[in-house]
Structure 1
Amino acid sequence: VVYDPIFSLRAGPTQYTGPERLRPPPCQVTDIPGCDAVVISHNHYDHLDLSTIEAIFKKFPKARYFVPQGNKNWVSTLGIPRDRIHELDWWEKREYSVQDFGHTTSETASEDVLLRFTSVPAQHNSGRAALDQGTTLWCGWVIEQLLVSKDEAETSKMRRNGVIYHAGDTGYRRTAKSEAVCPIFKDIGEKFGPFDLSFVPIWRGGTLGFISHLGLRLSHNDIPSALHASPVDAIDIHNDVLSKNTVAIHFGTFVGSENESLEAVMEFEE
């Protein structure tokens, strides 16, 4: 499963526009050994990248795509069959067997393996141009591995074997200094927690490259927090969703300076 993949050098409508990477991607699509599912949180350019999706589809034509409501038509324009694109509203879920992803299991196995994908709310927005702001949904994702017993005598036939939460791109507070926080994360924790592993954004953003070259900067604490979580917010989200382990994401890739991105990491570690 890959989440919001982007391997392009810029996050924008073309490879000549939009913020440029501060550092190269860790690998290319051709280096990925396998891909059964592509999970998208929203349609901003740094989360839904045309060139990357085309490359994944070319190498892994049987992969399934899970997108928030309103994004199926756009993804299908890339030639991906519509029956492999699954568009979900908040709290909607889909279940698939490993066979649905082209894998086989032993005939002697005592349990079948299912994967359940659930779209969950996030505090963000969407849009790829001036006139489509907020016209498609944004979300986080919960992916559960379920084991279903083949023994008809068992009263409880299904058990959960693992669960991952990806917050997507999200804010947590109304403002940087506000005590008012989004209650949805505790709801997610109550419905699906505890999580074995979570991926949570830690950076509200940074200075655009051309501004930082002038010696000017913006602290992530000065940027409105309604749409992006800070390192402190990420810790609160970790606690709210009852996560056992959390990986910090969404920092220091396309905007800001090296120092700005390091500040977010250091604050998260503290």
Structure 2
Amino acid sequence: MLAEAYSAAVSPTTSPSSAPEEGQKDHHRKGGGFRNPWPSWKDPSPVKIATSMLAQRIATKKYWGPDTKNHTIEVRKPSLSAERVTNEFRATWLGHACYYVEFPGGLRVLFDPVFSERCSPVQWMGPKRYTKAPCKIEEIPIIDAVCISHVHYDHLDYPTIMQIKKHHPNAHFFVPLNAKEWFTASGIDNCTEMEWWEEHDFVLEKKETDKGESAGNDDSTPQINGKFGLLPCQHQGGRHTHDQGWALWGSWSIESGGKKLYFAGDTGYRAVPRESDGLDDYGEQFKDLPVCPAFKKIGAHRGPFDLGLIPIGAYNPRWYVKVYGSPFLPMHVDPRDAVNIFLEVKCKKALGMHWGTFVLTEEPVMEPPQKLREAMKAKGLPEEGVFDVVAIGEGRVF
């Protein structure tokens, strides 16, 4: 692998932190673990929501989930550069929340990779792909770093991580607090865990041969630099129904080659009440619902960003989200929420994610892109060319 010609060094950033001072530890639970410290979050009542979901299924006499047979999602073979140095800033969607980003100067980062058939503890049951993975891990030419937003199964997949370990052994993993123990238990030591607002410098130094010559291709560069920052978002972190909150969750900022990227991971924006079911939850009746303040804070202290990768799917019905058999309330966003995050974080351009791959909720498969265009128009923004969707496997240069 070309990536093996470089060795990685990770260190806390030496530049002064511009993180807000107030409330920096409010997300730490007494006794351990983490929480969402904002009025926009409501702790779920799994029993109450599960009962409501069962009643809804009985009343409608319909199998839970949308029709996944009649969709127009295109899956392409991705075009990923094998050249160590590139002048392009390219983001390629690999399905669900997985993006592969090539930064000018050569840094290659993979986000929330899940290449298995199911996002589940086992591969014989659980949410199954209805669109294929566009490639295999071994077909990705270079992976310098992998960013994990949280430890849910549709964002952290053991078989995929083992494939990365096998085919890209020098890839460095960046994870939120308490997630490192999962990687250590999986035999991975090149892992850095981080707190909200923490930043680390990431330096790839070109190795030399015994003859004093640089290893690698003639197009390589002696040093590749990046800055990785973990930022807040509104979600949870756990692998089972009983351990939510044991590991932190977050969004990511990456700077390299003069470009800055925001990866939102998986997040909520508001806690929408059940009374909104069938109504416009952005209407007058619900206009004062509290929103997560983290995104405006991110925009003020870390923005602007050249590109945002923001979820747009897994939101209906709005008052619950069913993930891995465990219902939770304000964990995901709809396209209107996504556009607000896009504006508050101060992204110049954005691409959608967290749709088109696994059945997690009930909205029609092709609804998120349509609703995204409507949400952009409602804000007086162009429907295309600013916050877009791409085919699975498609790359977009910015």
- In the superposition, the TM-score normalised over structure 2's length comes to 0.56
Question: Offset of 1:162 from its aligned partner?
Answer: 1.1
- Structure 2 counterpart of 1:252: 356
1:122 equivalent in alignment to 2:233:
yes
* Residue aligned with 1:54, SS: helix
Kept in 1: contact 2:176–2:247 (CA 8 A): yes
1:81-133 Cα distance to aligned partner (Å, 9 max, x none) = 2xx10000111111022328998635xxxxx7521100000100011113311
Distance 1:26 1:223 in 2: 30
SS of residue paired to 1:99: strand
- The answer as to whether partners of 1:204 and 1:221 remain within 8 angstroms in 2 is no
For 2:238 and 2:231, the matched residues in 1 are separated by 19
Asked whether the equivalents of residues 203 and 220 of structure 1 are also in contact (C-alpha less than 8 Å), the reply is no
Check whether the contact 1:204–1:229 (CA below 8 A) recurs between aligned residues: yes
| Residue in 1 that maps onto 2:61 | none
2:175 aligned to which of 59, 67, 70: 67
Q: Structure 2, unaligned stretches of length 5 or more?
A: 1-108, 208-214, 274-280, 322-328, 375-398
Cα deviations by residue, 1:11-62 (Å, 9 ceiling, x for unpaired): 1001112111111111111211110001000000000000000001100000
Partner Cα separation in structure 1 for residue 224 and residue 302 of structure 2: 18
Within 5 Å, give how 1:33-72 maps onto structure 2: 33-72=141-180
Counterpart selection for 2:296 from 182, 186, 189:
186
Q: Select 1:230's aligned residue among 317, 334, 355.
A: 334
**d(CA) in 2 for partners of 1:44, 1:34:** 25
**What residue number does 2:137 align with?**
29
Which residue number corresponds to residue 264 of structure 2? Answer: 167
Task: Tell me the number of residue pairs that the alignment of Structure 1 and Structure 2 aligns.
Answer: 236
Runs (5+) with no aligned partner, structure 1: 107-111, 147-160, 206-218
From 89, 94, 99, the equivalent of 2:205 is 99
Deviation, 1:222, is 4.7
Cα displacement (A) at 1:204: 3.1
CA separation of 1:141 and 1:100: change in aligned 2, threshold 3 A: farther
Return the offset for 1:259.
6.9
CA distance in 2, matches of 1:139, 1:222: 22
Q: Distance in 2 between matches of 1:86 and 1:61?
A: 15
Q: Does 1:143 align with 2:254?
A: yes
Give, as a single letter, the amino acid of the residue that structure 2 aligns with 1:226. P
CA contact (8 A) 2:228 2:255 kept: yes
- Determine helix, strand or coil for the equivalent of 1:116: strand
Separation in structure 2 between the aligned mates of residue 131 and residue 125 of structure 1, nearest angstrom: 12
Could you tell me how far apart the structure 1 residues matched to 2:170 and 2:271 are?
Answer: 41
Is 1:240 matched up with 2:344? yes
8 A Cα contact 1:57 1:63, kept in partner: yes
**CA contact under 8 A between 1:124 and 1:169: conserved in structure 2?**
yes
CA distance in 2: counterparts of 1:142 and 1:118, whole angstroms: 5
Contact 1:252 1:260 in 2 (8 A): no
Distance 1:135 1:196 in 2: 32
Seen in structure 2, the aligned counterparts of structure 1 residues 43 and 259 have a Cα distance that, compared at 3 Å, is closer
Alpha-carbon distance between aligned partners in 1 of 2:363 and 2:308, rounded to the nearest angstrom? 26
Structure 1 Cα separation of the partners of residues 317 and 298 of structure 2: 26
Q: Which amino acid aligns with 2:151?
A: N
Map 1:196-211 to 2 at 5 A: 196-205=306-315
1:9 aligns with 2:138: no
Give, in whole Å, the separation in 1 of the partners of 2:361 and 2:194: 36
State the distance in 2 between where 1:256 and 1:63 align: 30
Deviation at 1:257, TM superposition (A): 8.5
SS of the aligned residue for 1:98 comes to strand
| TM-score, length of structure 1 as denominator length | 0.81
Q: Percent identity?
A: 41
Q: Root-mean-square deviation (CA), in Å?
A: 2.2
- Corresponding residue for residue 109 of structure 1: none
